[in-house]
Amino acid sequence: MKIPFNKPFVAGKELYYIAQAVIEKTCLAGDGYFTRKCQAWLEHNLECEKALLTHSCTAALEMAAILCDIEPGDEVIMPSYTFVSTANAFVLRGGVPVFVDIRSDTLNIDETKIEQAVTDKTKAIVVVHYAGLACEMDAVMSIAKKHNLFVIEDAAQALLSTYKNRCLGTIGDLGTISFHETKNIISGEGGVLLVNNKSFIERAEIIWEKGTNRKKFFRGEVDKYTWVDIGSSYLPSEITVAFLYAQLENAERIIAKRCELFNLYHELLKPLEDKKFIRIATSDSEFSRNNGHIFYIIVKDAEERMKLIERLSENNIISVFHYVPLHSSPAGRKYGRTVGDLPNTIQLSERVLRLPLFYEMTEKQVESVAGVLKRFYE
């Protein structure tokens, strides 16, 4: 049987809650019963000040750019090895992405490269917690404090991953998480903005509600609502968040299963790493607990990666590589600038291969993937 790279799944009461949203709650637009249930769950379980659901993690990043008052010419430091939304959200406000290199061990932003990228135009640092493993947040926050910069955590892949017992996305001024169907907890499309800096909460609600003070109106704080700031239609529908709430109810179980599969891959492929054929995904570190989002291997070079993808495909196994570095893309060259040569970004982006990992995957399927890899290197 074919082993897909990813497979969307139903974990519990998703369909029941969708029916409930339609029939009982009679609200399909955003900010209804299930929106409030999901936001309360996130605020409680992640211990963040305010959670605002969005129709995508991209939308949450765009809200973060507005909240940080990114204006034309403002610089935002970030890794080049990330998805386009990380940069695009700030470019849309006229900001300039400043790309720095990643660490070779975690594929996260190299915290030792950040400070040399700071100029008098720098306004924020965006970190990306790749594969759900934490960046070195103490160092990042220290640099931000020293230079009076905002910190935005792109925690798209990192729901319930932690750094020193704090959930990723809740450490910087703002955090974003994705519920895209490729993530651990899904709603098809979807995301959330985590507001950790209390001074942002009121304006975040306004931006979220198309630039109006509608939330104040519903709380009885004003007698009518009106347009007071820029904003957009960032709310997801109640059908989407009804599905999401059922997933959140089962989040611990879903992530525990993915971590089991991650650890099985680790165990089965460790002999190949010991023989220096491949390098396998970094697991938990001393200060960070990951959520089993991605299991990747790092091979010798791009040619070997393509041969391995072909061999896996011949065995009905779908594997994929990841980002093309943003600094080398047409838009990255047009809108951003690069600090340093980014050797790790260039080399590792050509060597990373992501293996199938999804909630309904079986141990036997993991063993099948590992078996093909072992035979390939034999």
Q: What residues have CB less than 8 Å from 324, skipping those under 6 apart?
A: 349
Amino acid at 202: E
CA distance 363 to 236: 35
Q: What is the pLDDT of residue 41?
A: 98
DSSP annotation of 28: -
> Which residue spans within the chain are E strands per DSSP?
50-54, 75-79, 96-100, 122-128, 150-154, 162-163, 166-167, 174-178, 191-195, 279-280, 288-289, 295-298, 337-338, 352-355
Q: Does domain 251-377 have CATH number 3.90.1150.10?
A: yes
Q: What is the pLDDT of residue 285?
A: 74
Q: What is the pLDDT of residue 287?
A: 84
Q: What is the pLDDT of residue 142?
A: 98
Contact between 21 and 32 under an 8 Å Cβ cutoff? The reply is: yes
DSSP, collapsed to helix, strand or coil, labels residue 32 as coil
Amino acid at 340: G
Other CB atoms closer than 10 Å to residue 38's CB: what's the count? 24
Angle at 53 between CA 51 and CA 59, to 5 degrees: 115
Q: Does domain 14-249 have CATH number 3.40.640.10?
A: yes
Q: What is the pLDDT of residue 284?
A: 75
Question: For the chain, how far is it from start to end, CA to CA, in angstroms?
Answer: 24
Instruction: Name residues of the chain where pLDDT drops below 70.
Output: none
The DSSP code sequence of 98-117 is: EEE-B-TTT-SB-GGGTGGG
Annotated domain spans of the chain: 14-249, 251-377
Amino acid at 94: G
Helices (H) and strands (E) in the chain, counts: 13, 14
CA distance 35 to 234: 12
Contact between 3 and 206 under an 8 Å Cβ cutoff? The reply is: no
